[in-house]
Amino acid sequence: MRVCDNILDLVNHTPLVRLRTGIPETGPKAYVKLEFFSPTGSLKDRMALHIIRKAMTRGRLKPGDTVIDNTSGNTGSAVAMVASVLGLKAILVTPEKTSQEKVDLIRSYGAEVIITPADAAPDDPRGCYMVARDLARKHGYFDIDQYNSQDNVEAHYLTTGPEIWEDTAGKVTHLVAGIGTGGTFSGAVRYLKERNPDIRGIAVDPEGSIFADYIRENKETVGYAYKVEGIGTDVITKALHPELVDEVITVSDNDSFNRARLISRTEGISAGGSSGAVAFAMEKVADGLSPEALIVGIFGDAGMRYLSKCYNDKWMREQGFLPALKGAQKL
């Protein structure tokens, strides 16, 4: 029988699908790795499973213990799902801007969710990062700390990178991935560059995040608010290995959301706003490349997580990302 012992057996081995939107017909081939095929619908399943299983194997976690982390939503649902299967308790701390779909999904796995102010600075005790660290210290919870965990990087070195290499038969020339914690990018690119040092790693950062300035100028700046979820940050993380970044492309909220909507309507690939940013960056990367080049982009999660946001015309107009309706059209 072709069956799985439990849902965790379905983590990893996501497919590559051809992307045509924004890619010249006579240019390079472009493919996107659809991480929404993972059990909770995002690439964070890889990291959550690897970190928690490794901790249990080494005796740092046992059934009944509590795991905790801060999250913009995807890590939260992944941690909650893995915890539910392995007999653990989970607490996830997330900012107010996280979509309701994500919050509800985390809770559906039986985890506790703590909501923090969206405008809290990285070192603000009220913010999601500091709240998670404080609770872990006070109560002895296992702190996943995805921003700084090298096991986060290792998860993608062991799975995402090898899958891309094998599925492209080693022909991949460019990897395009969003920067959130940096774990996905760092792990996958490190593996690929070990196989072929000429492979270029292109990082995607939203306008308002501080990663781009840090990578380009090696200095920390002050970020500002942005709407896209899952990529970008206002703190420098240890899971990002800057030496692996060959180029960083900054994408606006407007371009991220509208590209995601366009791909959904023309190619039937419904992914989140961060995937729209990756697709927009892939178009820039493809410009001028030869037909022999092969670009792979990582689509981190599913559009169904954002039905109340970037796939909702009312919300898009309220944010200024779609033209306002006029006259009788408002009826």
- Residue 215 corresponds to which tokens in the numbers above? 């990578």
How far is it, in rounded angstroms, from Cα 259 to Cα 249?
15
Please name the amino acid found at residue 24: P
Our answer to whether residue 44 is catalytic in this structure is: yes
- 32 and 299 in contact (C-beta within 8 Å)? yes
CB atoms within 10 A of CB 278: 29
Return the exposure string of 81-117: e unless at least 16 CB atoms fall within 10 Å of the residue's CB, then b.
bbbbebebbbbbbbbebbbebbbebbeebebebeebe
Which residue, 297, 310, 308, 307, is CA-closest to 253? 310
In this structure, the strands spanning 247-251 and 142-143 are unpaired
Active-site position among 29, 33, 44, 309:
44
Phi then psi for residue 261, to 5 deg, are -65, -40
Q: Which residues are catalytic?
A: 44
